[in-house]
A and B are shown apart, each in its own frame.
Chain A
Amino acid sequence: MKRIAIALLGIILLAGLTATASEAGKLLIWADDTRTPIMLNVAADFTAVYGVEVEVQEIDFGEIRGQLATAGPAGEGPDILIGAHDWLGELILNGLVEPVVLEPATISDFNPVAVDAFMWGDLLYGVPYATENVALIRNTDLVPEAPATFEDLLATAVTLTDLEAGKYGFLIQQPDPYHTFALHSAGGGYIFGKDEDGVLDPCDMGLDNEGSIAGAILLDQMVKDGIEIAGAGYNEVTGAFNAGNLGMMIGGPWTLPGAKDGGINYGVSAIPPIAGNAPGVFVGVQGFMISAFSENKVLANLFVKDFLISTDVMLGLYIQGDRPPAYLPALAFLSGNDDIQGFAAAAATAVPMPKIAEMGSVWSAWSDALELIVNQELDPTTAMKDAANQIRLLLGCE
C-alpha cells in the first residue's frame, strides 16, 4: 500500500500543468462560449499579421464579471473581455475597465444607441458589436398578419387559446421583467429617471407610476382572460412555439434557431401599440472592453480598434451569435434579412438597459411582483407599489 501511496503522490505531482495568465507581450481574451469560436479565428488572423500570441479563454458569461473583480487586481485577469453594456456600472465602480478612444468618424459608423449604451459620462468604455432586443414573433401559419394593435393581438390570442388541448395564443415568459417591459413602457413607465446631468438617478423610481401600473393591470387582465398562464418560463414558451402550439410570443434573436429547427414559419415584427402608444423595449448591447489591469493596453487597443472594427469581423460575429451587428456597414449588408428588419422595427423605440449597479435590486423585486400578479396572489397596483418600495428600501432612498 505504501507503494501505491507513493505512486499516487507522484501522479499528483505530474498531473500539474503550468497556469495561464495575462503576461506582457501576449493578449488574453475572455469570452463566453458563443463568442469563443469566432474569437479564435480572429485571434489566429491577428497573430498571422502581427506575430503576437493571442489566447482566448472560455468563461461562463455570468462568471466573467465576478472573476474579473478578483482576478484583475491580482494580475490574473485578461486584457480584453467581451460582455454586455449593463455590466459597466459594476465594472467602472470596481475600476476594472479602461476607456477606449475612437475617432469621431469611426464612432459614426456605429449604431448610436449602441454607442450611447457604452458611454459613461462622456467617455466610451468599449467597442460595441451587437445589439439585441425583443420583438413580437409569430407563427405565420397560425397568425398570418402581424396584429395592428395590441388589442387585436389579444383578440387573436383568445381565439387560438385552448388550454385543454395544450394550444396557446400569446405568451410572455414569466416572471421576466425584461420581456414584460413593453407593457409598462407603453403607458410611460420607466425604471430610473435621469437627473439634470443626464445620468440615471437611482432614487427616481418609476416602477409604480401610472404607466407601469397600467402595464401590470394589462398583464393581470391577460391572466384573467386565460391567455397568460402560470409557470410559463423561457423553456416552456419556446418549447410550445417550436412545437407549433403557440401563436405569438415576445422573444429575441436567440429564439429563432429553435424555431427553425422545429420547422416553424415565423415572422418578426414590432410589438404593436398598446392603447395607442408604441411600447419601448430594452436594448442590450454587447461589446469588447479593455481591462484596466492589463499590461498590454496599447496592444489591446490595436486589436480592438484596428482589427475588430471591420465589416468582415463584425459579420463573422453576427453569423456566430445571431445578433444584429452594431457596426452599420455590417448591418447594411443584412438589409435583405427580414428577421433583422423585424427586430430593428421593434427597436425603433428602444431604451438601453440601465447600466448602473443598482439594477441588481430592481430585477428581483420587479420579478416577484410579476409572479404575484400571474399567480393571482396580489392585485397589480399593490404588487407594483410593493416592488417599488422594496427597491427604494434596498437602495436607501426616501
Chain B
Amino acid sequence: MIGHYVAKHAAKLVLLGLLCAVAVYVCVVLIGMEAYGVAALPLLGAGLITYIFLSEKRYPLRWLVPGLVFLSVMVVYPIGYTIVASFSNIGTGHMLSKEQAVTQLLSRTYAPDDAVTYTYIAFADTAGTVALVLQAENGWILYRDGVASAIDPSDARLVDEDGDGAPDRFSDSVRLSIPQIVPRLSEFEAYRIEYGGTLIGLENLSQFRTRAPQYAYDPESETMTDQTTGVVYTALDGIFTAENGDEIYPGYWVWKGLANYVALITNPQVSGPFLRVFLWTFAFAFLTTVLNFTLGLGTAILVNDPYLRFRTLYRVILVVPYALPAFVTILVWSGMLNQHFGIINQVLVDLFGQGARIEWLEDALMAKVSILLVNLWLGYPYMMIICLGALQSISPSLYEAARVDGATWWQQFRKITLPLLLMPLGPLLVGTFAFNFNNFNLIWLLTEGRPPIAGAMTPAGHTDILISYTYRLAFEGARGNQLGLAAAVSTMIFVIIATISAFNFRMTGALEELSKNV
C-alpha cells in the first residue's frame, strides 16, 4: 500500500525531501550566523509547504504556495520589519545595535603618554606564515603565531645577508619588501599584540605603536569611561551621555514602545497641518481614480471597436506615456507647466495675452489641478490596458441578445458593460485609490508638495499628501533621518487606508460578490 503510494507520488516526494533538506541547511547556516530568531523560519516554511502538498484537504493551497512564498518573504517580511522598527528609535545616531556600538567604541584606541613606537620588519616563510620583528630603542619584540616575546638584536635566527646591518632572514623566513607588505597590511592591522601588559597595534605602513583602549565599559552600570579624561558616560536612550550633556557617537537603537505613535498624535508639529493634508490626500486619491478610470474606459471602448481602422497603431500611441519612465515624463511636465518658461503658458499668452498666464505650480488650487492633470496623463493608459483586457471577458452573445431586444448603445453600456466590468475591476479601483493615497513619486517629482502653506507650524505644502508630508518630517526634520518615526508613520497611514478600503468594500458590495461567486 505504502509502496504503491510512494511510487505514484515519487517525483513529488523527492522534491519535498529536497526542499526540507535545503531548509535545514539554511537553518544551520543562520544558526552559525547567530541569527537565532530567524533560523526557525525556513523550517516552519518548509514544514508548512510539505503539509500542504501531502494533505488532500489542502489541495487548493498548493496552487497558492509559489506566489505566497515570494509574497511572504519579499513583501510581508519588510512590512513586519517596518512595524517592529516603529517601536524603536532607529535613525541617525541610533543605527547600530547596542553590541555593535559598544564593540565600536571599545575598539577605539589612543596612544598613551608613554606610548612606544616600533618600526618593524616582516618575514614570511614558504607557507606564507608571517613573523614580525618590532624594533624600538628599549628592545625588540618577536611576534609569531600570536605570541609576542622579547628577542635580542643579535639573535642567531636573524641573519643579515647583504651586510647592511638589517636582518634579511629569520630562520627560514625571508624578509618582505614594502610592495610585498602592502597587500598584507590588512592582515597586520588585525593583529592585537599583547606584550608586557601593553597592547601594540599597526599604526601605519611602517610603524607599530602601543595602544590603549579609549573607553572602559561597565556592563552592570552601563557606563563608558573615557580613559583619557576620566569622564563617565551613562547609557541614556541609546546614547552614552555625560552629566553635562556631552554625548559619545555612535549611539544605538533602543525600544521605545509606543513613544513614536504618541509623538505623532500629541505632537503639535504633526497635528497642525495634518487635517488639511489628510483631506487633500483623500480628495486626490478619489478624484484621480475616478478621472483615470473614466478616461481609460472611454478610450478602451473606442479602440476596442473592431470596425475602427488603425486600431493597433492608435493603441500603441496611446500607451506611450506608460512606456516612458515616470520620472522623465513628470519632469517634462513640470517644465511645460512652468509659469514663465513653460510651453503651455507661452501658447496661452501668445493666444490670449499676458492675462492668460496661469500659475500652474504656484497657485494652491492650480497646483492641485496640475497634479490631477499629470496623473491623468500618466495613469489613463494603465486603465485603458486593463479595461481592454476586461472587455474581452464580456460574451458578445449578451450584446446580440440586447440588440435583438432593441437596446441603444447607451443602454447596452449601462446595463451590460459597466456592471460586468465593475465586478472584476471594483477591487482594482479600490487598489488604485490606495496606491494614489501613497503616491509619493508623483507629488515629490512634480511639486515636492509645494506651494508652501503660509504660516504652517511645520513645513507643509498645499499639494503635500500624507506620505510626502511625513517623509519630510522624518527625513528632513530635526536631526537627520528618524527611521523609527517614519516606520510609525507608515503603519499609521496603513491603518488609515486599510480602514477606508474596508469601508469601500462594504459600500461597493464587493464582499458579497466574493461569496456569491460560484
Contacts and interface: CB of A to CB of B under 8 A. Distances in A.
A229 B249 contact: no
Contact of B451 (A229, A360, A377): A377
A286 B461 CA distance: 32
A393 B459 contact: no
Contacts of B342: 231
Interface string A290-311: 0010011111011000100000
B27 interface: no
Interface stretch (B79-87, B120-128, B176-184, B219-227): B176-184
Nearest to A360: B476
A302 B185 contact: yes
B100 A73 contact: yes
Interface in B322-367: 335, 338-342, 354, 359, 361-362
A94 interface: yes
Contacts of A92: 249
Contacts of B205: 298, 302, 306
B452 A231 contact: no
B95 interface: yes
A292 B104 contact: yes
Nearest to A383: B454
Contact of B479 (A229, A295, A357): A357
A388 to B, nearest CB: 12
A111 interface: no
A264 interface: no
Nearest to B353: A164
A201 interface: no
A50 B182 contact: yes
B147 interface: no
Contacts of A66: 481
A378 B456 CA distance: 12
Most A CB within 10 A of own CB, among B455, B459, B472:
B459
Interface in A341-398: 357-358, 360-361, 363-365, 367-369, 371-372, 375, 377-378, 382-383, 386, 390, 393-396
A369 B453 CA distance: 10
B169 interface: no
B64 interface: no
A261 to B, nearest CB: 19
B204 A361 contact: no
B291 to A, nearest CB: 25
**Of A92, A93, A369, most B-chain CB atoms within 10 Å:** A93
B479 A240 contact: no
Residue from A70, A296, A390 with most neighbouring chain B CB atoms (10 Å): A390
Given A51-B179, A297-B189, A371 B104 contact: no
Given A95-B249, A230-B362, A394-B269, A372 B481 contact: no
Interface string A226-237: 000111110110
A70 B481 CA distance: 12
Contact of B250 (A94, A295, A368, A390): A94
B480 interface: yes
Contacts of B95: 69-70, 73, 94
Contacts of B472: 364
Nearest to B239: A93
B6 to A, nearest CB: 22
A378 B183 contact: no
B255 interface: no
A93 B338 contact: no
Nearest to B182: A50
A357 B185 contact: no
Interface in B184-232: 184-190, 202-205
Contacts of A90: 92, 480-481
B153 interface: no
A8 interface: no
Given A296-B185, A302-B182, A375-B362, A358 B340 contact: no
B476 A390 contact: no
B143 to A, nearest CB: 16
Given A302-B185, A360-B476, A360-B477, A93 B93 contact: yes
Contacts of A231: 338-342, 361-362
Interface residues of A, number: 60
Contacts of B362: 230-231, 375
Interface string A55-98: 00000000000100110010000000000000001101111100
A383 B457 CA distance: 12
A92 B92 CA distance: 10
A298 B359 contact: no
Given A73-B100, A390-B456, A394-B458, A361 B183 contact: no
B452 A390 contact: no
A215 B411 CA distance: 66
B341 A240 contact: yes
A240 B93 CA distance: 43
B104 A95 contact: yes
Contacts, number: 156
Contacts of A230: 339-340, 359, 362
B175 interface: no
Contacts of A93: 92-93, 249-251, 479-480
Most buried by B among A24, A49, A360: A360
A301 to B, nearest CB: 6
Contacts of B185: 296, 298-299, 302
A291 B93 CA distance: 15
Nearest to B450: A371
B186 A368 contact: no
A94 B478 contact: no
Given A229-B339, A236-B338, A360-B480, A295 B361 contact: no
B492 interface: no
A229 B340 contact: yes
Given A230-B362, A361-B477, A371-B452, A24 B187 contact: yes
B189 A296 contact: yes
B477 A394 contact: yes
Contact of A371 (B187, B269, B339, B451): B451
B475 interface: yes
Contacts of A95: 96, 101, 104, 249-250
Contacts of A94: 92-93, 95-96, 249-250
A111 B299 CA distance: 63
A25 interface: yes
A386 B455 contact: yes
B454 A377 contact: yes
Contacts of A386: 454-455
Interface string A325-355: 0000000000000000000000000000000
B186 A390 contact: no
A357 B479 CA distance: 5
Contacts of B459: 364-365, 367-368, 390
Contacts of B92: 69, 90, 93-94, 357
Contacts of B182: 50-52, 299, 302
Nearest to B339: A231
Contacts of B450: 368, 371
B71 to A, nearest CB: 17
A79 to B, nearest CB: 9
B75 to A, nearest CB: 19
B93 A235 contact: no
5 contacts: A24-B186, A93-B479, A306-B205, A360-B475, A375-B451
User: Shortest 8 CB-CB distances between A and B: which pairs?
Assistant: A95-B250, A368-B452, A231-B339, A93-B93, A24-B186, A357-B480, A364-B459, A50-B182
Given A94-B92, A164-B354, A360-B480, 13 more contacts: A49-B179, A73-B96, A93-B480, A94-B96, A95-B101, A96-B250, A163-B340, A230-B340, A236-B340, A306-B205, A360-B475, A365-B459, A394-B269
Interface of A: 24-25, 49-52, 66, 69-70, 73, 89-90, 92-96, 163-164, 229-233, 235-236, 239-240, 292, 295-299, 301-302, 306, 357-358, 360-361, 363-365, 367-369, 371-372, 375, 377-378, 382-383, 386, 390, 393-396
